[in-house]
């Protein structure tokens, strides 16, 4: 192996993964640590990386306190009901009280935010969403991060976090390799802010063959935030809470602007409204506290996303598909028609391509909707992620251990998808979380918590050997066969990914089984996944690009392992429409009104599961008040 080892030493704040969370962290860290060394390690190019690489047409988390619209506690109540109660309200409140200031910075930096011409306020799409021309959202925030960082390392696939050898359970940096040069990069750092993103492509996607990249969340979202943190021994939370999206079929184009702004609605294949007829039975499963259509109608309390999925899935299973989005009315207005198309071009160009290919003009036909394969992430209508400390002025003792957004590994912070139990952060909230983590990380260093970190050459060299092993495996065994990808000694990363997706789909509640699983299935799935973990030791990469795919697969496998553990642990069906535990088909507040927390032992690989208490803001009041 002719690859060089490049060591970047004495880093104060290392940002691993610079999507919206990571760019927020790098930007803000400079303010609180003006003399600190801030370094970004990013798998792609920070100008177009992360989930927002393609752009966005809306910012889905903006309070508008400035315009008298919402307060942070309103956001908490909204996120709470949408997630069937399972939210860290301290983290959600904290994010929500700061998020507007991030959006105001974006506007100052040149992000075009639409205005309501009558009122002068930001143009609302819905109660929480504002509309933007966000094609360059990512390059704009990246520019701000670049101004703050001492160094930006693009094209570094970070594979492992480094741990301190002087003090147990303390972070010491990260390692990875450059996906172009192949060189080994070592980042020795006092703190790490993990913004490495959630996971697509864990469950088998509906698309096949060439279209397998047409997933809802970006295909480069490899669950690395989870893989890295789990490996480091950080506690994880709510990893069972995968999300399923109701989207335009095949292209997975966004529906938010359609529902909220264009006022389109859904109907079944017979042209009937179908949602409400599933609600009485569903109410028996989840209880009136979580589904009260009458209250929802009277007030602005939303019907939880998963429950609306449930109605869609069941209507299709009843043979009355497909589900259509009724666009023909709204699209008569040329202005709204244009918005409909801009909405795709701004964030899911592929849907526009598909409609162009299939002659779908929503003015004359109502496009099909479908439910996607599940995704494991923590910033949309779901809250998978790391178990992080809240801020000191809000959090109860069980949620607080010294530094905001710090994980249970000292010096390891998170932002965006990395932080669990903070759904509905979206782009702006993730950026804000990055800022919060950065301030806390600087304080952690200033408090002397990162003194005396020791990283031995052995730790660095052992990881180096591990990282390049797939290349070695290929070199040794590939010539044993004449040609082709079939080899008795190894599998390649794509073969491993296919196996992972198939078993996640069939045993962990993918679309192929209508999101259904149970204890028996989960246990079989875990056994099969464990064989994949073993086979990963024999993964082969023929070049550096495949080595990247191999380590992405590794992070996806770690994530999946954790998803299995959590799904098995929570013996109830908390989110019908996201997944079902067939052996526990009801929501069970008596036993499961709590958060699930896991920890993987670094030495044995064994998981320990525990329940963490759920704290709520006292009242549920304002919903009626807001409706008037």
Considering only residues 105-144, where is the footprint of another protein by CB under 8 A? 105, 107-112, 133, 135-136, 140, 143-144
Token code pair at residue 461: 């060299």
User: What is the x/- site pattern for another protein, positions 193-232, by CB under 8 A?
Assistant: --------------xxxxxxxxx--xxx------------
Task: For residues 359 and 352, give the distance between their C-alpha atoms in angstroms, rounded to a whole number.
Answer: 10
How many other C-beta atoms are found inside a 10 Å radius of the C-beta of residue 625? 9
614 lines the binding site for another protein (CB under 8 A):
yes
155 lines the binding site for another protein (CB under 8 A):
yes
Which position among 39, 326, 354, 453 is part of the footprint of another protein (CB under 8 A)?
354
Task: For residues 252 and 427, give the distance between their C-alpha atoms in angstroms, rounded to a whole number.
Answer: 18
471 lines the binding site for another protein (CB under 8 A):
no
Token code pair at residue 337: 């028609």
> Do 62 and 122 touch, CB atoms closer than 8 A?
yes
Task: For residues 139 and 290, give the distance between their C-alpha atoms in angstroms, rounded to a whole number.
Answer: 40
> Do 79 and 424 touch, CB atoms closer than 8 A?
yes
331 lines the binding site for another protein (CB under 8 A):
no
Give the nearer residue to another protein in terms of CB position, either 72 or 385: 72
Give the nearer residue to another protein in terms of CB position, either 28 or 164: 28
542 lines the binding site for another protein (CB under 8 A):
no
* Contact window for another protein (CB under 8 A) among 228-236, 356-364, 405-413, 512-520: 356-364
The least CB distance from residue 364 to another protein, in Å, is: 10
Which position among 535, 583, 589, 610 is part of the footprint of another protein (CB under 8 A)?
589
Task: For residues 603 and 595, give the distance between their C-alpha atoms in angstroms, rounded to a whole number.
Answer: 25
477 CB contacts (<8 Å, ≥6 apart)?
A: 487, 489, 490, 540
623 lines the binding site for another protein (CB under 8 A):
no
Task: For residues 175 and 184, give the distance between their C-alpha atoms in angstroms, rounded to a whole number.
Answer: 8
**In 70-119, alpha helices (H):** 72-82, 89-109
400 lines the binding site for another protein (CB under 8 A):
no
346 lines the binding site for another protein (CB under 8 A):
yes
Binding residues among 52-91 for another protein as defined by CB under 8 A: 53-54, 65-66, 71-73, 80, 85, 89-90
* Contact window for another protein (CB under 8 A) among 165-173, 235-243, 310-318, 334-342: 334-342
- Binding footprint of another protein, residue count (CB under 8 A): 100
Binding residues among 488-517 for another protein as defined by CB under 8 A: none
| Paired sense of beta strands 184-194 and 38-41, if any | unpaired
The least CB distance from residue 389 to another protein, in Å, is: 14
CA dihedral 612, 614, 615, 621 (to 10 degrees): 170
Binding residues among 160-189 for another protein as defined by CB under 8 A: 179
The least CB distance from residue 24 to another protein, in Å, is: 10
Which position among 104, 151, 263, 284 is part of the footprint of another protein (CB under 8 A)?
104
Task: Of 5, 30, 305, give the one whose Cα is nearest residue 146.
Answer: 30
338 lines the binding site for another protein (CB under 8 A):
yes
Which position among 297, 613, 624, 627 is part of the footprint of another protein (CB under 8 A)?
613
381 lines the binding site for another protein (CB under 8 A):
no
Which position among 23, 60, 129, 148 is part of the footprint of another protein (CB under 8 A)?
148
The least CB distance from residue 190 to another protein, in Å, is: 17
The least CB distance from residue 494 to another protein, in Å, is: 8
Give the nearer residue to another protein in terms of CB position, either 266 or 501: 501
Give the nearer residue to another protein in terms of CB position, either 455 or 557: 557
Give the nearer residue to another protein in terms of CB position, either 265 or 615: 615
Task: For residues 566 and 86, give the distance between their C-alpha atoms in angstroms, rounded to a whole number.
Answer: 14
Task: For residues 232 and 412, give the distance between their C-alpha atoms in angstroms, rounded to a whole number.
Answer: 9
Give the nearer residue to another protein in terms of CB position, either 29 or 381: 29
Binding residues among 274-313 for another protein as defined by CB under 8 A: 289
> Do 580 and 573 touch, CB atoms closer than 8 A?
yes
486 CB contacts (<8 Å, ≥6 apart)?
A: none
620 lines the binding site for another protein (CB under 8 A):
yes
> Exposure string (b/e) for 238-260, b if CB count within 10 Å is 16 or more?
bbbbbbbbbbbbbbbbbbbbbbb
Task: Of 156, 153, 138, 139, give the one whose Cα is nearest residue 43.
Answer: 156
């Amino acid at each position: 192996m002719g690859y060089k080892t490049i060591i970047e030493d004495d880093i104060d704040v290392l940002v691993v993964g610079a999507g919206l969370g990571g760019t927020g962290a790098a930007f803000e860290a400079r303010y609180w640590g003006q003399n600190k060394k801030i370094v970004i390690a990013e798998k792609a190019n920070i100008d177009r990386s992360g989930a927002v690489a393609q752009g966005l047409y809306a910012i889905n988390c903006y309070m508008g306190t400035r315009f008298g619209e919402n307060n942070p506690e309103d956001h908490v109540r909204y996120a709470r009901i949408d997630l069937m109660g399972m939210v860290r309200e301290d983290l959600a409140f904290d994010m929500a009280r700061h998020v507007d200031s991030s959006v105001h910075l974006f506007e100052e930096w040149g992000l075009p935010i639409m205005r309501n011409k009558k009122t002068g306020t930001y143009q609302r799409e819905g109660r929480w969403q504002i509309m933007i021309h966000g094609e360059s959202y990512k390059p704009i925030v990246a520019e701000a991060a670049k101004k703050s960082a001492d160094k930006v390392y693009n094209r570094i696939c970070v594979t492992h976090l480094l741990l301190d050898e002087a003090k147990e359970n303390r972070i010491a940096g990260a390692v990875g390799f450059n996906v172009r040069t192949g060189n080994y990069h070592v980042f020795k750092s006092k703190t790490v802010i993990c913004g490495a993103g959630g996971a697509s492509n864990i469950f088998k996607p509906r698309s096949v063959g060439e279209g397998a990249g047409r997933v809802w969340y970006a295909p480069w979202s490899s669950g690395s935030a989870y893989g890295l943190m789990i490996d480091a021994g950080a506690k994880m939370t709510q990893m069972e809470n995968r999300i399923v999206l109701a989207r335009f079929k095949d292209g997975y184009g966004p529906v938010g602007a359609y529902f909220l702004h264009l006022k389109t609605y859904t109907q079944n294949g017979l042209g009937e409204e179908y949602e409400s007829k599933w609600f009485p039975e569903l109410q028996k499963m989840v209880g009136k506290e979580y589904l009260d259509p009458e209250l929802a109608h009277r007030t602005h309390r939303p019907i939880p996303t998963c429950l609306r999925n449930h109605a869609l899935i069941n209507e299709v299973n009843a043979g009355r598909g497909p589900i259509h989005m009724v666009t023909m009315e709204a699209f008569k207005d040329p202005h709204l028609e244009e918005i409909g198309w801009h909405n795709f071009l701004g964030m899911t160009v592929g849907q526009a391509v598909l409609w162009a290919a299939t002659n779908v003009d929503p003015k004359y036909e109502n496009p099909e909707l479908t439910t996607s394969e599940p995704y494991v992430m923590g910033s949309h209508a779901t809250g998978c992620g790391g178990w992080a400390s809240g801020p000191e002025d809000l959090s109860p003792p069980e949620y607080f251990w010294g530094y905001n957004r710090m994980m249970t590994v000292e010096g390891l912070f998170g932002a965006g998808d990395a932080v669990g139990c903070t759904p509905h952060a979206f782009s702006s909230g993730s950026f804000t979380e990055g800022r919060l983590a950065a301030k806390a990380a600087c304080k952690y260093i200033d408090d002397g918590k990162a003194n005396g970190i020791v990283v031995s050459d052995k730790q660095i060299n052992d990881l180096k050997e591990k990282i390049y092993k797939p290349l070695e495996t290929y070199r040794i065994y590939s010539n044993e066969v004449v040609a082709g990808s079939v080899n008795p000694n190894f599998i390649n990363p794509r073969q491993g990914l296919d196996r992972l997706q198939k078993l996640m789909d069939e045993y962990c509640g993918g679309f192929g089984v209508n999101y259904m699983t149970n204890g028996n299935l989960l246990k079989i799935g875990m056994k099969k996944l464990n064989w994949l973990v073993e086979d990963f030791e024999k993964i082969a990469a023929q070049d550096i690009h495949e080595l990247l795919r191999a380590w992405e697969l590794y992070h996806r496998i770690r994530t999946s392992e954790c998803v299995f553990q959590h799904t098995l642990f929570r013996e109830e069906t908390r989110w019908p429409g996201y997944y079902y535990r067939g052996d526990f088909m009801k929501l069970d507040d008596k036993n499961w009104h709590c958060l699930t927390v896991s920890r993987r032992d670094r030495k044995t690989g064994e998981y320990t599961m525990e329940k963490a208490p759920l704290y709520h803001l006292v009242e549920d009041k304002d919903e009626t008040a807001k409706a008037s």
